[in-house]
A and B are shown apart, each in its own frame.
Chain A
Amino acid sequence: MTIIYNGLSGALAAQAALDAVSQNVANAMTPGYTRQGVLLASLQPLRGGVMSAGVGVQVSSLLRFSDGYKSQQMWSAASELGRYSAPQTYLAQLEQIFGDDESGINSGLDAFFAALNAASVEPTSSPLRQQVITTADALAQRFNSASQVLQRQRASLGQQRSIIASQVNTLAAQIAALNQKIVESSNGGVNPSGLMDERDLKIDELAGLVSLQVTEQPDGSRSVSLRGGQPLVVGGRAGELTVQNNADGSQTIIVDFALESFNLVDGRIGGQLGGLNAFEADVLVPMMTSITEMAQQLADNVNNQLAAGFDMNGAAGQPLFDFTVSGATGVLAVRAGALPTELAFSSNPAEVGDSANLLALIELKSQPVTLTSLGSVSLSDAVTQLVARLGMDSQQNKAGLATAQAVRNQAEASWKSTSGVNMDEEAVNLMQYQQMYQANMRVVAVANELFDSTLAMLR
């Protein structure tokens, strides 16, 4: 007479299944929640006898619907997304500032050369000469503000890198702690599914910051290392990233794990951290170099040409621009105390009204400057080409970002298709297990009736 026990085991199994369904429905909107289910198995008869069908059902295990490969895909998509999204705000800001023709270096150059041109109509005119100095000052200010924008970007990029490093450290410590809890709960016979969800969410967050290699351990924990192989989390232990500021304005990232420390080399970092590094190395620093080189060569060319001429007092020409590589106030300035009469427009000390040197100064506009990033380009076209390159870099990054976003969406959808909750499915399960429960209770009732009728016979 195992009917009553069979019915009971069925009712208990249905309860466990309904329990899982209710947990799934409750967490349908919980980010990172992995749906669960029960694995039912029939119990074989304990004693011999061909007439025994079996001794009921048992929940042999709780199923966690997860696919490690899909999680890995999601994390690597997160790294790609981070790599392109981190520099995008910087690129957009640079484009906004350098793309504006009205306020940029280009229109400053236009105004400076226009003033020189205007002076050629009357090379001895004081107001026209003064205008040259005024526009030279405005031009210097434009170079300075461009260089300051770039320097500010580098400073805020450095801060962001330090913040990311501390986020990485926090997440690594949390993942290590969760790893430990997962191992402990598994050993203690407690379902660790919720802890695993939490840990995998942290790994996902971490993967957005820096590219990862994640390996599943037999004890249920996950080991996390950087793409270059440097360990970050092993079981319950976590490593630490530190950012060092170097004298030349660059930064070095160091991974410390236990007693060892590793230098993080560019190119294999990935995530937001790698994106920032690539932006700094490929866009920001070359741009800074170009602006500085341009300022220096403009100053040198103008000053050298002026030195070849003579001012209105017949004296050899004095420089107009002062250039400093990394001045606190900027890279370029008009020489303090420059006077209109001191502009050496004449090519002959005796002829104040001569404008041959002035015409040579005007020609400087189409003379080449040599920039590390562009090679030899004419002074008037250099900024246009720099902005074009910036535009192309930004365009490329935007395209990369769009692709990374699409890949990430796809990876999320794919992960959800395995682990996410489908309400209709849960509704079906709910009805099925409810029916199963009711049927099993009915079995118990029937067994009870059978027992009653047996008892009644004896009365």
Chain B
Amino acid sequence: MRIASTQYHATMNTALQKANERLSDILQKMASGEKFSLPSEDPVGAVRLSRLTREEAALVQYRENIATLKGRLSQNEAFLDGMISDMTSARDLLVWALDGSNTAADINAMASSIQPIIDSLFYAANSRDAEGRYLFSGTLSDTAALTYDPAAALGARYTYTGNAGRQLVAVAAGVQQAANVTVQEMAAMLNQLDQVRAVLSAPGVSANDPVVRAELQAALNVTDQTLNVTAGKIAGLGGAQNILSTLDANHQNISLSNRQAALVVGQLDYADAAVKLNGYTTSVQATQKAYAQVSKLSLFEAM
């Protein structure tokens, strides 16, 4: 084929332009460390990377939820622990009062010791968070868990005014964990303690009086029941903590494998890039040398 002289220049221009394009592309990639800078370079890779990023964002949030939730559960556990020690003190007093050798004055003194325990339990059950919302009233966060009505008959002055609603927190896709504990059994015990306090504070009360003994026995029973239920709740909280720790570890593992996958999909293989850079550089040098040689060939030089 007949070749026009300008064709050499055109070919050289095209070759150099292509080579420069490739060089600038590989340099940009080496600078950023990314395998592709635009989705069109690898649409499928871009989709995978984007989905991994979405999943990673969700995992980070679940892990944050778990961390906050674990804090809330520990706080609940601390409150319940406090209640248990109060209830244990009340139980000790009741057992002591059942001892028939106590004098009336002793029993009256015990009665006066029961009141602060009742107050402490009432106060603990109505604990609030920083924004003034009740912690143990179920989903009725604006309502106190326990209400005291001095006008009501003795033994019915404490009522549970919360509900059994649970505040669920998303801790994994489709997995929810309750963040709150309710204390509806506390009202019955407080009423019974209130009643026994009134009986024991009567002048000349005797532990050998069958009526008094029956009151004491009933109070002891309800206290034991409440202790058991509360201990069960603490155990439940411990179990929830374990589940959350396991979930967190799972999230962490998935997150790690996602990040590894993202590296494989999106990160530049520097060895490969370096080899390509070398290849492109060599090809540019060779083209330049060839052009210098070819452009020297002119019959006019020989004339």
Q: A residues touching B (Cβ–Cβ < 8 Å)?
A: 28-29, 91-92, 95-96, 98-99, 101, 106-107, 110, 113-114, 117-118, 120-126, 312, 346, 348, 350-356, 359, 362, 366, 380-381, 383-385, 387-388, 390-395, 398, 409, 412-413, 416-425, 427-428, 431
Contacts and interface: CB of A to CB of B under 8 A. Distances in A.
Contact of B4 (A96, A359, A422): A422
Given A118-B65, A409-B10, A346 B139 contact: yes
B53 A117 contact: no
B168 A351 contact: no
Contacts of B299: 423-424, 427-428
Contacts of B167: 120, 122-123, 353-355
Interface of B: 1-7, 10-11, 14, 38-44, 46-47, 49-51, 53-54, 57-58, 60-62, 64-65, 68-69, 72, 129, 131, 133, 137-142, 163, 165, 167-170, 173, 176, 179-180, 297-300, 303
Contact of A353 (B5, B40, B60, B139): B139
A388 B303 CA distance: 62
A124 B131 contact: yes
A380 B65 contact: no
Contacts of B140: 350-353
A354 B139 contact: yes
A101 B50 contact: yes
B57 A110 contact: yes
A423 B295 CA distance: 11
Contacts of A28: 5-6
B40 A391 contact: yes
7 contacts: A101-B53, A122-B72, A346-B139, A352-B141, A353-B140, A384-B51, A391-B40
Contacts of A412: 10
Given A99-B39, A353-B133, A359-B170, A388 B47 contact: yes
A95 B142 contact: no
A340 to B, nearest CB: 11
Contacts of A355: 139, 167-169
A159 B173 CA distance: 48
Contacts of B4: 416-417, 419-422
Contacts of A125: 129, 131
B170 A120 contact: yes
A381 B48 CA distance: 11
A124 B43 CA distance: 43
Contacts of B61: 113-114, 117-118
A427 B298 CA distance: 9
Nearest to A417: B2
B46 A413 contact: no
Given A106-B50, A381-B51, A421 B170 contact: no
Given A114-B61, A118-B65, A387 B139 contact: no
Given A122-B179, A381-B51, A398-B40, A421 B62 contact: no
B301 to A, nearest CB: 9
Given A29-B6, A351-B141, 15 more contacts: A28-B5, A120-B167, A121-B65, A121-B179, A122-B129, A126-B131, A312-B142, A348-B165, A353-B137, A359-B170, A394-B39, A394-B40, A398-B40, A419-B4, A422-B4
Contact of A391 (B43, B53, B168): B43
Contacts of A424: 5, 297-299
Contacts of A428: 299
A419 B165 CA distance: 89
Contacts of B297: 424
Contact of B5 (A126, A352, A420): A420
Given A29-B6, A124-B141, A354 B165 contact: yes
Contacts of B41: 391, 395
